[in-house]
Amino acid sequence: MSENEMIICRCEEVTYRELVETAEKYGCSPRELKLRTRAGMGYCGGRTCRSAVDSIALSSTERDVSQITLKYQPPIRPISFSKLGGVENND
């Protein structure tokens, strides 16, 4: 797997290449990049990819570095991996 095919947002399966190409094509701010690619809009709410999306957007465009970064928020209700996988826990 090449660096360009590396998945940055696991929840929405957005690759590094998609983020860079979108940021360069549209001159996106971090928020615009998130909305165009859906990176950071999955189950984790951007906890794992928010900083990477911010960095890609800011490095691909000439923007003010003091711009507001993306926020993330926890899921409405936490859920265990066993419930997501359909595994019953009979401890």
In angstroms, the CA 57 to CA 11 distance is 19
pTM for the predicted model, two decimal places: 0.66
Cβ-Cβ contacts under 8 Å for 21 (sequence gap 6 or more)? none
Q: What is the mean pLDDT of residues 38-54?
A: 88
Distance from C-alpha of 72 to C-alpha of 74, rounded to nearest angstrom = 7
Which residue, among 60, 70, 68, has the nearest Cα to 25 in the 3D structure?
60
pLDDT computed for residue 68 by the predictor: 56
Question: What's the average model confidence in pLDDT over 2-26?
Answer: 91
Amino acid letter for position 47: R
Q: Of 73, 38, 67, 41, whose CA–CA distance to 54 is shortest?
A: 67
What confidence tens digit (pLDDT) does each residue in 69-82 have? Answer: 555 566 667 777 77
